[in-house]
Amino acid sequence: MLDVRRLRLLHALSVHGTVTAAAEALHVTSPAVSQQLAALEREAGVALVERDGRRLALTRAGHVLAAHTQLVLDQLAAAEADLASLRTSVSGVVRVGAFVSVAALLPRVIQVLRSQHGSDVDLFVHEMEPEASLPALRRGDIDIAVIHSYNIMPRSLPTSCESFELFVEPVNVALPLSDPLVQQDSVDLSVLADRPWIMPRTDASCHELTQRACGAAGFVPRAQAYCDDFGVMCGLVEAGLGVALVPSVARRPGVALRPLTQQVFRTVSAVVRNRADGQPAVRVVLEQLRQV
């Protein structure tokens, strides 16, 4: 019979890529990982790893077994969640990965949790974009991933995860208060084709959003600046450096936000592993996220 603890090590190697990273993730030593993988190979009766230069890589059989292991671990996590849902007490550490503009709302969540549950529910926050938080959720590094997606850029979820919508907000064009377009109820992006643009960094999904929205309007935006934070983007817009696309949560004095004629929306959701919302501590954090 295959040992689940050894299967977990194989899965960690498939996710993290190296024995050292897998060992760090599971808080064991690298030699222990290698020894247990060798034992798992004897149990399986087939080679699961092979040398690829100085590192160990999964064989075809290793990839097959790692995929089955994902299902086993997901089912074990669901079983743990179902058992946890039967408890009457609410306690535990809940690890949340949230992107910048929503992470700013988490202090309010923490205040409410402490007023209702004291130190019994401990929120541990990681600031990360969905591109990082969803893989972290699947690895088990976090319990809740707060993510965003756009109606013109749907986002796929990892298997064995479920999503809870928190809110939907329009994406607006940010303009200086002195801009004549501020007088309009909505703005067609095509009239901004010759303007300089404040763009999110190129590896962010928000950058792709701006590229797609402007492309649909018939032009490629000319970047005047790149930055990570919507607040900074709005500050540069206020200074007259260019225009930008930002969600409503980025609203700030000195900048006018006007909806787009093309109607682009951002949906913010909390994602957990299947049935994890049944765990009392995770459930109360989800409830507060919805309220805030």
HSE-up of residue 23 (Cα within 13 Å, Cβ side): 14
What pLDDT, on the 0 to 100 scale, is given for residue 92?
83
DSSP 201: -
- What is the structure's pLDDT at 84? 65
Q: What is the three-class DSSP state of 215?
A: helix
Say what the pTM is: 0.75
Q: Among the residues of the chain, which ranges form H helices?
A: 4-16, 19-26, 30-44, 60-84, 100-103, 106-117, 130-139, 205-216, 230-238, 280-291
CA 213 – CA 171 distance, rounded (Å): 10
> In a structure prediction context, what are the per-residue pLDDT tens digits for the chain, which is 292 residues long?
788 888 888 888 888 888 888 888 888 888 888 888 888 888 888 898 888 878 888 899 989 888 888 888 877 877 776 776 666 667 788 999 998 888 778 888 888 888 888 878 888 899 999 989 998 898 888 999 999 999 999 898 877 788 999 999 999 999 999 999 999 999 999 999 999 999 998 888 889 999 999 999 999 999 999 998 888 999 999 999 999 999 988 888 889 999 999 889 999 999 998 877 678 888 889 988 988 7
- CB atoms inside a 10 Å sphere around CB 56: 20
Structural tokens at position 8: 């977990």
CA distance 30 to 119: 35
Closest residue by Cα to residue 209 from 173, 256, 156: 173
| Cα–Cα distance measured from residue 91 to residue 173, given in angstroms and rounded to the nearest whole number | 43
- Coil, helix or strand for 64? helix
Q: How far apart are CA 14 and CA 67, in angstroms?
A: 9
State the DSSP code for 54.
Answer: T
Q: What is the pLDDT at residue 104?
A: 77
Cβ atoms of residues 161 and 273 within 8 Å: yes
**Largest CA-CA distance found in the chain, in angstroms, rounded:** 73
Q: What DSSP line would sit under 217-261, residue for residue? A: TT---EEEEEES-HHHHHHHHHTTS-BEEEEGGG--TTEEEEEBT
pLDDT value of residue 87: 64
